[in-house]
Structure 1
Amino acid sequence: MTSKTFTEIPVIDISGLYSESIEDRLSVAEQMGKAARDVGFLYVVGHGMPADKITALRDAAKRFFAQSEAEKMKYYIGSSASHKGFVPEGEEIYGTGKPDKKEAYDVGFPAPHDHPLVKAKTPLIGQNEWPALDNFKEPVLDYYEAVFALGRKLFSGFSLALGLPENHFESMITCPPSKLRLIHYPLDTEAEDRPGIGAHTDYECFTILLPDQPGLEVMNDNGEWIDAPPIKKNGEEAFVINIGDMLEVLTAGKFVATSHRVRKVAHERYSFPLFFACDYHTLIRPLEQFDDGSAEYKELSIGEHMYSQALQSYRYLREKVAKGELSLPERATGVATFGHLKNNKPA
């Protein structure tokens, strides 16, 4: 496995992915593959995301989180039929075993009522919960559609980087459990420079993050935390992309789901990650070109992996598991299973 002793996050202009020239697309894919192998994180610019969609999303999030706790709790995720809605502070627990200091609103792929996965009551798949707040649903869904389209384009680049056809994963992305999170870190004037979200990897294929303040840190192989602050290039905000557990499995560890955390910082912060996944029942195993027979990675169902991690991270789901109302999927993996976390416990 390649040593990842990086000290900064690479910046890649992905405008070539939109070129009609295969040479241009391959050039970008090569850069993406190198970043995925050497770091597991990359900034992308040249993505073409309209600035007004980003502004509208931020405005909607700020207005929602400015409401009273009682109003927000009307849309509590624990009351949702498909694990969507408001996530209050302290609801999630990561590897540190301590609740993280943030609140969030979770939005999923807009699955229609009559979709077979919805009818089958597949975990994580179903209708979104929308607050009775003017001008919230529309800009959030608008952004979701745009950033999901960006995810498809990025997946074509990762496919080329893996030596696969650009459309290799297209048939596996029809109604995925791909979640957009609107995250708010409240102002904390007494915050010290210490972890806010415990060190963790992301469960899906990759994440497309739009942050607005510093705080994100990425761990290298030396156990050092490297800052990944928001950046702009030519006036365009960069997205932060990181490899998730599923791409680590596909590449038998050549791409690593690099551990990361959010520092506790003394300023208000908003963050918007889209966790890009394949369809729930997609089986993920090391690709033939990466599997030499010694791979330690077992076959996983994307949906089962994501659901099992949620069952072990969200307070309301943990309580249901403890009461025997829910159980972990047969192929469930524990937390801290991928990336650096499988070998050591970060500070």
Structure 2
Amino acid sequence: MSTRQPTAFESIPAIDIAPLFGSDTAAQQATAEELGRAGRDVGFFYVVNHGISESCQQALFDQTKRFFDLPFERKMEHYIGKSNNHRGYVPAGEEAPDPTKADAKEAFDLSFELSGDHPEVRAGTPMMGANVWPDLDGFADDVYAYYRNVFDVGRALMRGFEQALGLETDALLGRVNEPPSQLRLIHYPYDPNATDAQGIGAHTDYECFTLLRPTAPGLEVMNGAGEWIDVPYRKDALIVNIGDMLEIWTNGAFVATSHRVRKVKEERYSFPLFFAADYHTEVAPLPAMLDDGDTPKYEPLAAGDHLWAQTIQTFNYLKQRLAAGEIELPDGARGAGTLGQHARHKDDV
């Protein structure tokens, strides 16, 4: 199957995904075809009528603000560097997708909840286990309720991608059972001295795709010509972008689209759910995505090892552990920023 490069788009499409939750197969197929066009031509799109209630979203916003309004010392009680599975509070400057530029934000990271007696936890699999929850009334319940809801939207989208690509049922979704799919609660503090500048460095996302609920503008994406395009804020929508793993699975038919966040004065929050495959999944171009005689454009990678390697190369506390010999990069680890449009247009950034 030939690779179709993203176009020099100037805006991103909006897709009504309500049919994915219904029983009208014709409407489901039409929606899947829209998803396929967006994945091939743009790699970024809005989804509306996703089914997550306003009350669920508002509870997430309220709890997030409560946490970030705490004194710094209280937040650092839950510092991610104290965890053994990469969960908790990320202070400003801890994370650096571009090591030459510090990110102007703080975050709180959580993921798929697994009990201590789960086989993956007992085996010490990176990033697997229980979440770190601050002692705030209702915080864990409200935040994890949003996690479950947005994860279900991700499953519906993955099923739609299967249809769009003409794949058998569960060709992709069958590899998503208990994945290290991370939800990040991100806070950009008010900065009265901010000028138009980078807030989060240009990057692709490591997983299959991302479902983002922002609260304000600031996101930009790179089109097929290497140009940065603004993504206007929509209160009614989630923003979805293709990640590294779907780029590889589809042999480049879908491309992990590079994006960044501009640094502006306005205080704002952002809530990305990084929809990942199960840790031990081998991600390689699917046979159905190759015509007879085609050579795969990508070497296989292990889903969890790829995510763990990229995380090690991004977070300062993990870089320090790596330098001290406390952890090792997984075999065959790729360098950071080696996939997506950013990698194709580095000289233009």
Which range, TM-score by smaller chain?
over 0.9
- Measured in 2, the distance between the counterparts of 1:58 and 1:127 equals 22
Asked if structure 1 preserves the Cα contact closer than 8 Å seen for 2:5 and 2:224, the reply is no
Distance in structure 2 (CA, Å) of the matches to 1:329 and 1:315: 17
Partner of 2:129: 126
1:196 pairs with one of 199, 205, 209: 199
Q: Aligned-pair RMSD on alpha carbons?
A: 1.2
Greater displacement, 14-23 / 204-213: 14-23
Question: Partner of 2:256 in structure 1?
Answer: 257
Give the superposition deviation at 1:166. Answer: 3.9
TM-score, normalising length: structure 1: 0.96
2:93/2:103 contact within 8 Å kept: yes
Q: 1:166 to 1:28 in 2, by over 3 A?
A: farther
Which residue is equivalent to 2:340?
339
Q: What residue in structure 1 maps to residue 149 of structure 2?
A: 146
Distance in 1, Cα, partners of 2:275 & 2:200: 20
- Which residue pairs with 1:187 in the alignment? 190
The residue number in structure 1 matching 2:36 is: 33
Q: Does 1:311 find its partner at 2:346? A: no
1:114 aligns with 2:117: yes
Match of 2:18? 15
Q: Residue 161 of structure 1 aligns to which amino acid in structure 2?
A: A
Check the 8 A contact 1:104/1:184 in 2, yes or no.
yes
Aligned to 2:279: 280
Q: Do the aligned residues in 1 keep the contact of 2:222 with 2:342 (CA within 8 Å)? A: no
What are the superposed Cα offsets for residues 211-250 of structure 1, whole Å, 9 maximum, x if unpaired?
0100000011222111112214xxxx10000000000001
2:102 maps to 1:99: yes
* TM value normalised by structure 2: 0.96
Aligned residues: 343
**Aligned residue runs from structure 1 range 286-305, under 5 A:** 286-292=285-291, 293-305=294-306
Instruction: Give, in angstroms, the shift of residue 46 of structure 1.
Output: 1.4
The aligned amino acid for 1:52 is S
2:290 and 2:316 map into 1 onto residues whose CA distance is: 37
- d(CA) in 2 for partners of 1:221 and 1:33? 17
State which drifts further: 265-274 or 293-302: 293-302
Deviations 1:149-199 (A, max 9, x none): 111111110111111134333332221100000000000111111211110
- 1:50 corresponds to which residue? 53
Q: Secondary structure at the match of 1:151?
A: helix
Identity across aligned pairs (percent)? Answer: 50
SS in 2 for 1:32: helix
Is residue 96–residue 199 contact of structure 1 (8 Å, CA) maintained in 2?
Answer: no
Deviation at residue 67 of structure 1 after TM alignment: 0.5
Partner Cα separation in structure 2 for residue 271 and residue 240 of structure 1 = 11
Residue 344 of structure 1 and its aligned partner are, at CA, apart by 2.8
Contact 2:196 2:262 in 1 (8 A): yes
CA offsets 1:3-28 (integer angstroms, 9 cap, x no match): 42000010000111122122111100
